[in-house]
Structure 1
Amino acid sequence: MAIDFLELAEASPNPYVLLDRELRLVWMNRAYLDVTMRDRDDIVGRTMFDAFPSDPDSESYRQLRDSFEHVLETGETDEIALIRYDIARPDGGMDTRYWSATHSPLSGSDGSLKYILQHTVDVTELHELRQLRKEIGVVRRAEAVEARNRDLERESQRMLEFFEQAPGFVAVLGGPDHVFQMANTSYLDLVGRDDILGKPLREALPEVIEQGFVEVLDRVYSTGEPYIGRRDRVILEGTNIPAHSHRVLNFIFQPISEDDGTTTGIIVQGYDVTEEVEYEKRQSLLIQELNHRVKNTLAVVQSLAQQTFRDVPDSARAMAIYKARLHALAAAHGLLTESSWSPASVRQIVELTTSAAFGSLDGRVVLEGPNYLLNPEVALALTMIVHELTTNAIKYGALSNDEGRVHVGWSVESDGECEKLAFVWQERGGPEVHEPEREGFGTRLIRSGITSKRGTTVDMRYEPAGLECELTVTLECGALRDGGISSPMVPG
């Protein structure tokens, strides 16, 4: 639940008063006014010793003055466990009062001490009890008050530290005019200003008006529905140089609501992803350039091969096989380039490679398996294996006639740390299969399997009903966490 600290302080039953470095009273809550029997307009702007006079030679004056001076000189909190400080009544008489006070320094955005926050507790009754119950009772209760003050101070300090150290930028806007109530250092650095507190958004950041963000905040405030911005572009001027004023942000405008549903403010929280977006843009350009150069290289390799084999007798068949393998490699490279060399799915790899060699599958090649992602290294190796299996099926196997079928299935199993990919190619309905007397390059490539640090196995069986090839590879352990060999399955 969001907390309005100013409203909380105003409603607190504990007296609080804020003094500047000249010990002038700049703010106090209702509890303070009640306990001192004063009106706000009568004491705001006056010094502490002017608003509440005391004999400069008295112990009360000395205690209070010394405590204030200690805070101003050291920047450290000071506590007065018990002090007598008489208060004038509205009728002109004086009330004898005993107090316990804590003086806490408050710093500005530049780190220098700006204010002193005084938390006072009227312990007059405790002092009177001390006279009745002797000193022991009063001391214990005074210590309890001191302990409570320390706990409250520590808790308030922790809350402020949590806010300041929150990941990303955070700001709190109050009311329909979106007045800045709080903002951490990350937010101030983002907008390039440190003077926005207490100002409405239109005054603090005028450049965002024409960019539509005020309208979005108005809608969040009126509807109570949050707004999530994903890679929204914004221009923030402030002290930012022009090159740094254009930012890309992920953020949320989260309404702050009361128990009755009334919106009282908005929390702005998010992250600056400008560098991430720029990196992705540069990466995309580099990949496009790499793709262009690889395509040119493959074209040069193909041209060199044609010139080399042109005068070699009976080389047409070998040249066609060589070209087909180059095309398979180019197709796999194109698939990976389209996804910026991010993981590619097994289904995409098989569909692309088989259709490139065989044309429309038309039910002749049946694919069955999850949409599991493989990293580029594994994807390229699997592409070449599927290409060789498809080529053999077209020449000698199930795809060499009109009735044959190929079933391609894959599955993934995990033991919690490592994952194993099982890939099965099964042909049926083609000519009777016999194991060849010698293995060609394609068969050797298939048997080499997929390179993996954990090992790979290939089982090729020349069954009379059709070729069966089962490939298993243990993917690198910890891949799911480290983005290594594999990536998790995605919805189909």
Structure 2
Amino acid sequence: MPDSAAVSTFIPADLRDHFPLDDLLLGLLETSLQGVALYTPVRAASGEIVDFTIDYLNPTAQRMLQQPAQPAGTYLEHFPHTIETGVFAFHCEAFESGEPARMDVNYQGDGLDNYFRLSARRVGRGLLVSFSDTAHHTRTAVELSLRESQARERAALAEAQGQRATLHETFMQAPAMICIFAGPEHVFELANPLYQTLVGNRPLLGRSVREAMPELEGQSIFGRLDEVYRTGETFRANEMLVQARPRQRKPGRA
């Protein structure tokens, strides 16, 4: 790492008196259109980096990240979504390698929703990160297409969840006995109150029909369920005898 004397040689001699190094650094941080962050690694007893302290955010970084210059709390406490997106790993690798690193990421989490370009480099005992976002830039066609696709996916998911909730409520209030099985073992996913009354006060959800209702063994119902699941063909019966009796507890000893 170059020392301050070596860095000062980058500035022409006739300008050094006009632009003192400390003032120049402060001016660059305060006026930079790029976000600049200074982090210090937090290590576990094993030596692995498990978090960072946030030592400084320049004004642009404060605006982008919606944080003060020195936020209370650690990096992961503020930005846990960086684990899922790989940004935290990027910072760790940049620090450990000591080499400049770059990353582009579409970040949607922790109150942020933007495209970021990151550049990171170890400086002394800390990590210097420079980054920009596209909040004030015209988005490319690819970015707009991706955002529209993500918006459609979120809308479809919300609609499906709403429909599922409505259907569940309908089943639970229906004046008929209804249950829903899942998988080849016919595991109970839903049993409405009337169905539960039919079979008695026994646990159903999450259990297979064979486990929950062993008294059906030897009757035709298990075979019917297996056939419907295997073929996908609907089975209807106007009258079908099924003997389902609630299990009776054996009297305990005094």
TM-score, length basis structure 2: 0.40
Considering fraction of residues, name the structure with more strand.
Answer: 1
TM-score, length basis structure 1: 0.24
Q: Looking at CA atoms only, which structure, 1 or 2, has the larger radius of gyration?
A: 1
